[in-house]
Amino acid sequence: MDDWIALTIDTSTEAVEAVANFLLEAGAEGVQIDDSADYAHEVITATGEWLDPNTIPHRQAGAAVSGYFAPQTHLEELRQNLAAKVAQLASFGLDPGAGTITVADIATKNWANEWKKYYHPLRLTRFLTVVPDWSDYQPAQSGELIIRLDPEMAFGTGSHPTTALMVQLLETYIRGGEQMIDVGTGSGILAIAARMLGAAQVLATDVDDIAVANAEANLALNPVDHITVVANDLLNGIDTQADIVCANILAEVLLPLIPQVPSVLAPGGVCLLAGIYEDKADAIKAALAAVNLTVVEERRSGDWVALAAKVVAP
């Protein structure tokens, strides 16, 4: 059999999700992400051993996203199509990084499993650890909650700082028994985390059908119920009340979402937003203020900002 084609785009950490989507939309059978940011966290091995990321050989800056394509792919057309999309990243406020595209034939029979070596159990917070579903990792201490994920297709393995910020906010604002709406659920990671932390019910939505399917597959890997996943754009057509509305999406999507939040937010509820690149934070705060939502907490990780906002009585 002919070799598979691996097409690798050098980019920045913040553009990893968009570039992976470009490759999947272009027909990649799978994607592999090699992101220097993944090594900013401690890594735990399958046997529960803590590893200093500096002891593992890894890229020091930026990220590379590889897509695997069937041998008969029209390579030049594909390369040009992807180069055009990479050139548009800056107009979405994303740093394209080097933006170079390299092509390699790979004889690896089993590329579909190759990428898995890049995913390790990841200690997200004191209480939550994200574990790839093929790992036999067991909790290293009492009280440690395990989220099992197959991170193959959708965004949300926990390794991105925006996801980690949002999980920290969920730990702060979930007291138990809340109704929650998770807009842009991706892998479903936030919905699963919320249920494990005590939320009563989660409505998880995503505009991308692949994400909806991946979130449903991930729910099945975890001992969680009372999570409904639906394909939906923003909060369009949703009229249930929620104590928590969370969304980890780029500012361009949060801006039209924010005016929809008050109509679903129950009295005393909180709106949690992540995915905000720091130069967009002021615009997001202004959009919140315009609908009477006051920022009550701000968290940062690198260049990323996450906000909690509530209706505060005058």
Ligand X SMILES: C[S@@+](CC[C@H](N)C(=O)[O-])C[C@H]1O[C@@H](n2cnc3c(N)ncnc32)[C@H](O)[C@@H]1O
> How do strand 128-132 and strand 242-248 relate by DSSP bridges?
unpaired
Q: How far is the CB of 168 from ligand X (least distance, A)?
A: 12
The answer to whether 163 is a known ligand-binding residue is yes
- Shortest Å, Cβ 161 to ligand X: 10
Q: Of the two residues 252 and 282, which places its CB atom closer to ligand X in the complex?
A: 252
- The residues of the shown chain that bind ligand X, judged by CB under 6 A, are 17, 154-156, 163, 166, 183-186, 189-190, 205-208, 211, 233-234, 248-249, 253, 275
Q: How far is CA 133 from the centre of its chain?
A: 17
Q: Residue 64 or residue 130: which is nearer to ligand X going by CB?
A: 130
User: Do you know the residue count of the chain?
Assistant: 314
- Residue written as tokens 């041998």? 71
Cβ proximity to ligand X: between 207 and 295 the closer is 207
Check whether 184 is labelled as a binding-site residue. Answer: yes
Burial 109-122 (b: 16+ CB within 10 A, else e): eebeebbbebbbbb
Question: Alpha-carbon torsion 131, 42, 162, 81, what sign?
Answer: negative
**CB-nearer residue toward ligand X: 6 or 156:** 156
Nearest approach in angstroms of CB 182 to ligand X is 6
For the bound state, the minimum distance from the C-beta of residue 313 to ligand X, rounded and expressed in Å, comes to 30
Least distance to ligand X, CB of residue 104, Å: 28
- The nearer residue to ligand X, 5 or 18, going by C-beta atoms, is 18
Q: Minimum Å distance from CB 2 to ligand X?
A: 33
Angle between helix axes 161-173 and 189-197 (nearest 10 degrees) is: 20
In this complex, which beta carbon is closest to ligand X, that of residue 46 or of residue 207? 207
Give the residue ranges of the annotated binding site.
163, 184, 206, 248
Give the residue ranges of the annotated binding site for S-adenosyl-L-methionine.
163, 184, 206, 248
